[in-house]
Structure 1
Amino acid sequence: MADSPAFEKMLDQLLLNDRTVNQVLRSRSAKTREDCPSPLPPALKLSIDKTGVYALSHNYFQEKLGLDLSVLDARQIHLSHQGKAVPIFIASEEYGVFGPGDVMFFYAQAGDSAYTRTNIYWLSLKTDGGARLSIRDATPDPSHPPLTEFKKTVHVERDDLYWVKLPKDPEKDHLFWGKINATSSLNMSVNMRNMAPGTENATIRVMMQGRTDDPIGWYLS
């Protein structure tokens, strides 16, 4: 069974080698060893160095990569990381088109090893559809009074230093913001957004790791 024209068009745009070579590699009659894995489908490599929610628009694919995804079935767009499906959200994909104005959203995590902060995600096509984020209606109840302020916990962390010797347990976190000793100091700036007017109490917790295995926690109010 031949691939759809839309899939073939995307394949042409993704492959770096000549189209005739591609046809030979994808031939259904080619003989291979039974224990050889199937060739990987064409995919876009996404390098992620910051954890958070990402948005990729139709215009981005067309202008930056030269790919017109409107010729594809949006329900077949599939995102994966280390062989596992990653849920995505595409508004109006029930119409089967990823066209101008459409945006794909997904959550991705950066790497945290001693060698790289970059994680690799793969965007490809899957005939039976990819994983999707579930949505629900979150319209505020009009009978509730409007919320003007609230308490929030903000976690700030920078992994600028990898300390291989401490902690001694290899399964513990070896990444730190910086290193200080008894005669030095470290200036760490934190940007707090959307602060409510007025005067309220706040608690700052600073976690430190000494040369022992036990972390040290300081509380400032």
Structure 2
Amino acid sequence: LELPGDAFETRPGFPRLPCTGVLIPLPSIEGLTLEVLSAESEVRSGVEIPRVPEGEDAVAPRCGTEPWEEDKEFPAARAVIDTTGIMRGERLARLRLHPFHWNAQTGQLRHDRRLRLRLSFELRTPSRQIAIRRPDPARLLPFEIFARIEVKEPGLYRVTYDDLLAAGLRRRSLPAAQLALFHLGREVPIALHTRDPERFAAGDTFEFHAEGIDNLFTDTAVYHLTWDGRKGEGMRILTTDGGGAGEGSLDRFRATVHREEDHLHWSEMPGAPESDFWFWTKLTWPGPATGVYGIFLPDPLPDGEPALLRVELQGRSNAPPAPNHQVRVRFNGNVVGEGRWQDFQHFTLEAPLSPDLLI
């Protein structure tokens, strides 16, 4: 079974079935319970599911014989809450979904095409003896939010007054000095362009730089615009004269080209979720262990300085002998670097590239 975007069971010896997950923000994680309200499923017969290879993840627990010898579906649960915690000050629960359930004795595979779940939690009223503390104003997002701005790509964005009207704004103008933009509780500077320095109205615009976001749970970064004004004037992008007094013109400059695609994720990777656990591909030896990746370099100079190639790799096994990972990197058919590393370590290979290799 191969489903785009889904992860798989990685414990050695277990049936290799797709699974997926989502982080859910909650006001409380006390008394958290999960209930399956309804399911729409289909069943297929005569299905064989392979085991997860024993050498794929040596630190994970091995599977016993239960999924293969007992006349019952694996996994038993359609959905489970496998962990809860607090990240960046927000209470989160990780919901793991198992859309496929397989019976090794009968060969039947059940696919849950649609699930309806209910998450319940307790909201406890603090006792009167607990002192009430004021939150840090620098981390407090005002509740008078009148526009929610969603972006999927990093870059420079422009928002017009007409955009705000289309989003539901019902005011003829806004106080220009008090306009403030927030992302994850932090203020983001904006470049404000108004005809009247005191009002943001029809024909006016503002710009901001968005970092974007891309992880297992969302590809949309949310920014909130407010004119609450309790914090004073909003943060602005500073401007400066770019004329300069130097002589001559610039005919070359250094640039960075970043190539990355997220196709596989390893949610149990050491250091996740704080560390990036999305990967382009997996190279396993023995077997097909060669990956070819294209990089477009705009206008490299034939007489320029050497470039630096940096390749990021992550180990996923600790089988002997040590070191148990080795890689050789070629660029335009030329070997430019080799590296070895151990176990589940992150490894960065850096290789200088002479200008003649870039053409």
State the TM-score, normalized to the length of structure 1: 0.65
Indicate whether 1:90 and 2:192 are aligned: yes
Structure 2 CA distance for aligned equivalents of residues 130 and 156 of structure 1: 39
1:3-82 equivalences in 2 (<5 Å): 40-62=143-165, 64-65=166-167, 67=169, 71-82=173-184
Deviation at 1:188, TM superposition (A): 3.2
Indicate whether 1:104 and 2:209 are aligned: no
What CA deviation, in whole Å up to 9, does each residue of 1:11-30 have, x standing for no partner?
xxxxxxxxxxxxxxxxxxxx
Q: Evaluate the alpha carbon distance shift between residue 69 and residue 152 of structure 1 in structure 2; reply closer, same or farther with a 3 A threshold.
A: farther
Decide which structure has greater helix share: 1
Structure 1 CA distance for aligned equivalents of residues 206 and 295 of structure 2: 31
Percent identity over the alignment is 25
Maintained 8 Å contact 1:70/1:97 = no
Maintained 8 Å contact 1:58/1:103 = yes
Unaligned runs of 5+ in 2: 1-131, 133-141, 317-342, 354-359
Aligned residues: 182
State the TM-score, normalized to the length of structure 2: 0.43
Q: Give the stretch that moved more between structures: 183-192 or 82-91.
A: 183-192
The amino acid of 2:248's aligned partner reads P
What CA deviation, in whole Å up to 9, does each residue of 1:158-180 have, x standing for no partner?
333321233x2334321222323
The amino acid of 1:210's aligned partner reads G
Q: Give the stretch that moved more between structures: 80-89 or 196-205.
A: 196-205
- Whose radius of gyration is greater, 1 or 2? 2
The amino acid of 1:107's aligned partner reads H
Indicate whether 1:202 and 2:296 are aligned: no
Query: RMSD of aligned C-alpha atoms?
Result: 3.2
Unaligned runs of 5+ in 1: 1-34
Equivalent of 1:216 in 338, 347, 351:
347
Structure 1 CA distance for aligned equivalents of residues 346 and 224 of structure 2: 37
Structure 2 CA distance for aligned equivalents of residues 92 and 144 of structure 1: 35
Greater RCO (CA < 8 Å, at least 6 residues apart)? 1
Equivalent of 2:246 in 143, 159, 166:
143
Structure 2 CA distance for aligned equivalents of residues 68 and 88 of structure 1: 22
The amino acid of 2:261's aligned partner reads R
Structure 2 CA distance for aligned equivalents of residues 40 and 58 of structure 1: 21
